[in-house]
């Protein structure tokens, strides 16, 4: 397996494990989370086991159901980093920055 693909698979497995931990910490069953996320129990199982073939909609719906969606959005915001803030003015066109 190529190195990049292995990293993605490892990250997906780690996130899946963290989603399971969030679910259990909140005392939620898999059925409750799948219902709140609007996905099947099987799709939730795929998310929780780190299946990289799961769609973005399902992944983000589970994050929302667990209350961690905003944290994920913030974690990927380049303006939350020193580099992003420093380089925004020189790299991004004005319409993107607004």
Residues above pLDDT 70, as percent of the chain: 90
**11 plus 53 within the same structural domain:** yes
**10 plus 58 within the same structural domain:** yes
Whether residue 95 is predicted with pLDDT greater than 60 in this model: the reply is no
Q: Which domain holds residue 97?
A: 69-98
Return all residues near 43 (Cβ < 8 A) that are at least 6 apart: 34, 54, 58
**34 plus 82 within the same structural domain:** no
Whether residue 41 is predicted with pLDDT greater than 80 in this model: the reply is yes
- Using a 10 angstrom Cβ sphere, with 0-12 exposed, 13-18 middle and 19 or more buried, the burial of residue 22 is middle
CATH of the domain at 13: 1.10.260.40
- pLDDT per residue over 7-37, tens digit each? 999 999 999 999 999 999 999 999 999 999 9
- pTM, whole model, 2 decimals? 0.83
Could you give the number of structural domains in the chain?
Answer: 2
**60 plus 50 within the same structural domain:** yes
Using 50, 70 and 90 to split pLDDT, how confident is the model at 2?
Answer: low
């Amino acid at each position: 397996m190529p190195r990049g693909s292995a990293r993605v698979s490892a990250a997906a497995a780690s996130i899946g494990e963290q989603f399971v931990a969030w679910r259990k910490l909140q005392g939620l069953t898999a059925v409750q989370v799948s219902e709140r996320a609007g996905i099947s129990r099987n799709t939730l199982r795929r998310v929780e086991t780190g299946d990289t073939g799961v769609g973005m909609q399902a992944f983000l719906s589970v994050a929302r159901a667990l209350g961690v969606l905003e944290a994920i959005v913030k974690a990927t915001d380049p303006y939350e980093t020193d580099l992003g803030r420093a380089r925004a003015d020189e790299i991004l066109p004005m319409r993107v920055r607004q």
